A = this chain, B = another copy of it.
Amino acid sequence: MARWQPDARERLQQAALELFAEQGFAATTVPEITARAGLTTRTFFRHFADKREVLFAGDAEVPAMAAAFLAQAPAGAAPLTIVLDGLRAVAETRFEPRKAAVRARREIVGTDEGLQERELRKRAALAEAIRAGFVARGLDGTRAALIAESTVTLLFVAVAQWLDDDRPLAAIIEDCLEALRAELSPP
């Protein structure tokens, strides 16, 4: 077994994103990724099931993180307060430190229908975790579904804008909430 490399995972991700951008997702092979990273394919498969997983690494844990966040929120907290606290934390810990990688991923996902489906499933899994978390907090199913879907809408619409913008994601989320309130107010 190769010596444990603390940064092997990040090096593989970086190499994969570079190669996907240079020559396309479909044309890139795992041996090319590992060669670029200076690692073995065996190391690759210790970290990722396949090259698609490189793009979505860490995303599988997001619904569970959302569920845990909802479960530990103060008993009397308003749903929107919990949502905004959660989105702020996600913006600061998962998005701001890796804007270039998120942008590269958007480009690659846009080129491949299978990756777009994976993105839709990811989004649906997050909405479902939030919905279930609010039902567990006592909200009725309709309220829980509305706030869950809107949370995911705010996050994804704000991230899309953030990738073309210089302002912090958390500020853009606040603006998107204001804009959404305006759109939904009685005409």
Contact = CB atoms under 8 A, between A and B. Distances in A.
A92 B161 CA distance: 35
Interface residues of A, number: 31
B142 A149 contact: no
A153 B145 CA distance: 8
A100 interface: no
Contacts of A185: 80, 181
Interface stretch (A2-10, A44-52, A65-73, A117-125): A117-125
Given A79-B183, A81-B187, A153 B149 contact: yes
Interface of A: 78-81, 117, 120-121, 124, 141-143, 145-147, 149-150, 153, 156-157, 160-161, 176-177, 179-181, 183-187
